[in-house]
Structure 1
Amino acid sequence: MSKGSDAKKARRRKRRAARQTRLVPQEMVDGLADIPDAVVADLAEFDQRITARGWTFDEEESNDDYAVWFYEPSGAEVEDGLPVTSLWLDAAEDGAIVRVVFVGSVERYEFTHEELADDGALDVIEGYRVGQPLPRF
Structure 2
Amino acid sequence: MSKQSASKQARRKKRQSTRNVNWLPDEVHAEVEAVGRLAGEILPRGWVFDDEYSNDEFLIWYYPPSGFESTEDDPRELVTRIWLSDPDHPQLILVGTEEDGSIYSLTVEQLLANLDAIEAYRVGDPAPQF
Scaled by the length of structure 2, what TM-score is found? Answer: 0.70
Give the Cα–Cα distance (whole angstroms) in 1 for the partners of residues 115 and 105 of structure 2. 12
RMSD: 1.6
Aligned: 1:110 with 2:102: no
1:84 to 70, 79, 104: 79
Counterpart for residue 30 of structure 1: none
Q: Which amino acid aligns with 1:114?
A: E
Alpha carbons 2:34, 2:88 under 8 Å: kept: no
C-alpha contact (below 8 Å) 2:60/2:81 kept by paired residues: yes
Distance 2:75 2:94 in 1: 11
Question: Within the alignment, does 1:127 sit opposite 2:120 as a pair?
Answer: yes
Which of 56, 61, 73 is residue 64 of structure 1 equivalent to?
A: 56
1:38 aligns with 2:30: yes
Runs ≥4 residues deviating over 4 A: none
Q: Distance in 2 between matches of 1:44 and 1:66?
A: 14
Q: In the aligned structure 2, how far is the partner of 1:42 from the partner of 1:59?
A: 19
- Count of matched residue pairs: 100
> For structure 2, which runs of at least 5 residues remain unmatched after alignment?
1-23
| Identity among equivalent pairs (%) | 39
Contact 2:80–2:92 (8 Å) recurs in 1:
yes
Partner in structure 1 of residue 46 of structure 2: 54
Matched, 1:97 2:92: no
Between structures 1 and 2, the one with greater strand share: 1
Partners of 2:124 and 2:30 in 1: CA distance: 39
User: Which runs of 5 or more structure 1 residues have no equivalent in the other structure?
Assistant: 1-32
Per the TM alignment, residue 110 of structure 1 is displaced from its structure 2 partner at its CA by 1.3
Give 1:80 shift: 2.9
| TM-score, reference length from structure 1 | 0.67
Amino acid at match of 1:123: D
Deviations 1:71-113 (A, max 9, x none): 00000024232100001010xx3x1111110111031111101
| Rg (Cα) greater in structure | 2
